[in-house]
Amino acid sequence: MSERRQPEVFEQAVRVEPADIDTLGHVNNVVYLRWVQAVAAAHWRALAPAEEQAALVWVVTRHEIDYKHPAGPGDEVVARTWVGEAEGLRFERHTEVVRRADGKLLARARTVWCPIDARTGRPRRVSPEVRGLFSTAGGDEPPA
């Protein structure tokens, strides 16, 4: 079985687009969810072996998001994600969205993902390699 290690933070820059702004003049809450999912998918594509990417897809079973400060038109933000604990078919992932200009934390999310067999559409256990890459005993604070 793969050795558990401290997770690394994966980052993806995002520019706030006009369509992201709601009637209150800031980024709509649903957009943060899109960013959380997009950075998780990018992290998966960056680390997972090609054969695992072809065999597995991931579905969300739970999102928890704390909104701290609004992002506005033209802001550049960074979505930072890292893996958390995994138990059976439940894989935890943490994400922070920060404004690039001042480093202010805009939102923090915890998401639980389930691996699905791409062929059958049913939940599926992952290989020791995938479990080692996408789980840890770490907490909800980003690794140093």
Mean pLDDT, residues 46-54 taken together: 97
Classify 10-133 by CATH class.
alpha beta
How many Å separate Cα 53 from the centre of its chain?
16
Q: Given pLDDT bands bounded at 50, 70 and 90, which one contains residue 140?
A: low
44-to-54, 74, 82 alpha-carbon distances in Å:
12, 28, 11
| Prediction pTM value | 0.90
| pLDDT tens-digit series, residues 77-121 | 999 999 999 999 999 999 999 999 999 999 999 999 999 999 999
Q: Residue 4: what pLDDT?
A: 45
Backbone φ and ψ for 82, nearest 5 degrees, come out as -155, 155
Distance CA 11, CA 21 (A): 22
Q: Where are the beta strands (DSSP E) in the chain?
A: 10-15, 56-67, 76-87, 90-99, 105-117
Q: In percent, how much of the chain has pLDDT > 90? A: 88
The CA distance from 31 to 37, in Å, is: 10
